[in-house]
Amino acid sequence: MNEEVNWIEYGKKMENLGAIDSGDLVDMADKMGKQLARSLKINQIRRFLDALRKIEQEFYQIPGSAGAQQIEKVKHNLTMLRPKLAYAAGRNKD
């Protein structure tokens, strides 16, 4: 399977995760994972997943009556994962 991932299309879909069918989300994650595995080292993937888990923990620690500022911080951290991942992938290009 040498399928190229359409990152722009996935980025548009990721704007509203709640609107994506769970099967499509799993398919997107699978394709993205396979594509990234070709260009990233295991340690880089681990660091990305660690950052993602940290954001997940921050999200679950937000109280139900939390202000928009805390939620915006989580959104910002999620958004910043994209350039971090791009940087990691770019480091391996020869």
pTM here is 0.55
pLDDT 10s digits, 39-51: 778 888 888 889 8
Mean pLDDT across 58-78: 78
Q: Which of the two residues, 94 and 81, has the higher pLDDT score?
A: 81
The neighbour count for residue 39, using CB atoms within 10 Å, is 14
Amino acid 3: pLDDT: 57
pLDDT > 50? residue 2: no
Joined together, the tokens standing for residue 49 give: 């997943």
Better-scored residue on pLDDT, 43 or 12: 43
Q: State the average pLDDT over residues 9-19.
A: 70
What b/e sequence results for 42-78 when a residue is b if at least 16 CB atoms lie within 10 Å of its CB, and e otherwise?
eebeeebeebeeebeeeeeeeeeeeeeeeeeebeeeb
What is the domain partition of the chain in residue ranges?
7-91
